[in-house]
Each structure stands twice: as structure tokens, then as C-alpha cells.
Amino acid sequence: MPRIGIFGATGYTGYELIKLLMNHAEAEIVFATSRSNAGQQLSDLYPCPYELPLTAPERATVDKVDVAFLCLPHGESMHRVRRVREAGVRAIDLSADFRLRDAAVYCQWYKVAHAAPELLLQAVYGLPEVYRQRIASADLLANPGCYPTSVLLALYPLVKDGYLGDSRVIVDSKSGVSGAGRKLSSKTHFVEVNENLSPYNIGRVHRHLGEMEQELAAWGEVDVRVTFAPHLLPVDRGILSTIYITLKAGWSVERLLELYKRTYVGEAFIHVLPAGTLASLAYVVHTNRCAISFAEAGGNDFIVVSAIDNLIKGASGQAVQNMNLMFGLDETMGLPM
């Protein structure tokens, strides 16, 4: 039974993680930190019955845990990860700090020099459906971003086998508001979001592009260039990505289904939908699943539609899935189906 510490427990990913671990048969939360709410309990902040005390990060008893989850902002997380690793404790980092293997690429997207570049190569990118073996033995786990999870799981079977005929991919993503975090901003004020739909950071701007293109390049023969257009959706949770691709000749939805079902056979959290059915948020919210579906767009053009819950498969649920793998537990333990 892994003993667990959580840094940054009071953001949306921290809260979701705690709710998952509270229902996990083999997890024991030893500490949960909050800089601004130290001394309070989780039930003072969130509408829940959990009287979990929040401690200042300085008072966290890292030596008493087997694994630390870091739900901190990027740039801050890497400092805490270094100290966790120096204490010999395994780390699951939900920030972006260890997802990019190249410190220069990190600096390009995140506009800050990496403070722990020596740890970058240790880090394992925590997409279990692709890197299950490496994850099992990882000491530093970089939990994938929410948008990249929805896109990478949707493209992996095609890219790893070199089936993309055109190296350009257009990703039109729509995300629920919890993805923007709990920090106050006029962009997340109810009246600004409700009955609205807003594109933001579209084109070649969003930071998750680096992460997507790194993995696609690692899997395929050629560099894939992604056009990425995220939109803010008036729902609490969920990401739907509509992905426009051009394949080499000879494809159909049936052949796509055959490839994906074969690639993902036995995967508990991948739901490949039958022909004629398209993924929607309702397939996945409040679960750790990723739903994937296909449509023809004429000629060699196809559309892949994938959906995840951004807080579960796109963050805390995938982190628990990774923890399960790292500690030899049933991969699905504690995860809503």
C-alpha cells in the first residue's frame, strides 16, 4: 500500500486526485500541502466531507512517503521534484516540467530556463498505453498534458506504423473550464463563459504543441506539424478533439477500426467506438476512459474524434493509473470506469 504525499492539493487536479485516492483500496494519503490554505482542511475549501488537513509545503514529511504527486504550477514543480528525488522518493509530476526531454525546447515553450535539466532524461512520459513498461520502473513520472493525451491516443496507431500521408495535422480541440484551473480570472467568470464559446491561443501558440510534436516525432518516421486550435467550452469538464488528417491511399473507417482495435486490444481505458458512432464528452466525463471514433472526409481525408475527461484521463486519473503501474497494483484500481 503506497504511502502518498501530495504537493499542491487545492487546485482542481489536486482535489480530483484526492477524491480518487480516497476511493482507492490501496492508497494512504500521508500529507497534502497548500501554501495559501495551510492549517485548514480540504472541507473548508471544497464542498466535500473530507477533513484532510492541509500543511505548508515546508512541513511535508517527504521521508514518510513512497511517492509524491506534484500538482504545482510549471516552473515551481521542478524545484520540488528535485528535492523529492533527493530524498529518494518516487515522483509523479502533473505539471509540464518534465514532459519535454530537451531543456531548450522547454525554455522555448515555457519561457523559463529549466532548473533541473539533469532529471529530464530520467523522466518517463506517463502515457500507459504507449510506455507501460518504462512506467513500471519509473522514479520520475511526467504525467501528460490534457490536450496531448486526447491527441496522442487518437494518433498513436497511425503514426507508429507510418500511415500518415501528409505530415500536417489539424487539431480543433474544445475543453471544459476546469482545464483553465482554479485561479481567478475574468476568462473563467461564469458570465463570460456561460452561453459562450471562445477560441484561444490558436495556430502555433499553445504550449502543449511542444509535447504533442515531441511524441509524434518519436513514434513516426517524419516530423508531424500540428495546427492546434483550442476552444473554451461552457462545461465543467471534458476535452473533445476533432483531428483532420490525410492518410496514404487505401484507407477506410473499417480499416481504421481494425488497426485501432488491434493496437489497443486489452486496454481497459480505450474505447474505440463502432462505425457510425462519434465520440462525445458524455462517453468519458467522470471516467478514466478515452473514446476514439472516425469519419471519412472524401478521398484520403479522414477525421478522428477523441474525447477524455480532462481532470481524470487528462490529469489525476492518468496519474493514479501510472501510480498503479509503478507499484505493481492492478492498473484500473480506484479508477472510475
Residues with catalytic roles: 146
- DSSP string for residues in 119-147: HHTT-EE--HHHHHHHHHT-SEEEPPPHH
Shortest spacing between CB 178 and a copy of itself, in angstroms: 5
For a copy of itself, the closer of residues 63 and 337 by Cβ is 337
Q: Which residue's C-alpha cell is 500529507?
A: 31
For a copy of itself, the closer of residues 88 and 266 by Cβ is 266
> Which of 315, 17, 8, 324 has the alpha carbon at shortest distance from 142?
315
For a copy of itself, the closer of residues 178 and 214 by Cβ is 178
Compute φ and ψ for 3, nearest 5 degrees: -90, 135
> CB count, 10 Å around CB of 251?
20
Shortest spacing between CB 134 and a copy of itself, in angstroms: 27
Distance between CA atoms of 249 and 259, rounded to whole angstroms? 15
> CB count, 10 Å around CB of 214?
18
User: Hey, CA dihedral for 179, 185, 190, 191, is it positive or negative?
Assistant: negative
Residues pairing with 304 in the sheet: 243, 294
> Which of 335, 333, 237 has the alpha carbon at shortest distance from 285?
237
Which residue ranges make up the site for a copy of itself (CB under 8 A)?
Answer: 12, 22-23, 47-49, 168, 170, 172, 174, 177-178, 182, 184-186, 188-200, 202-205, 225, 227, 229, 231, 233-238, 240, 242, 244, 271, 278-283, 285-286, 289, 291, 295-298, 301, 303, 305, 336-337
For a copy of itself, the closer of residues 305 and 325 by Cβ is 305
Shortest spacing between CB 76 and a copy of itself, in angstroms: 21
Distance between CA atoms of 86 and 81, rounded to whole angstroms? 8
Enclosing H/E stretch for 160 = helix 146-160
Shortest spacing between CB 278 and a copy of itself, in angstroms: 5
Shortest spacing between CB 193 and a copy of itself, in angstroms: 4
Q: In what order do the strands lie in the sheet with 124-125?
A: 28-32, 3-7, 67-70, 90-93, 140-142, 124-125
Largest Cα–Cα distance of the chain, in whole Å?
A: 62
For a copy of itself, the closer of residues 137 and 194 by Cβ is 194
* Residue 27 near residue 334, CB atoms below 8 Å: yes
Shortest spacing between CB 192 and a copy of itself, in angstroms: 7
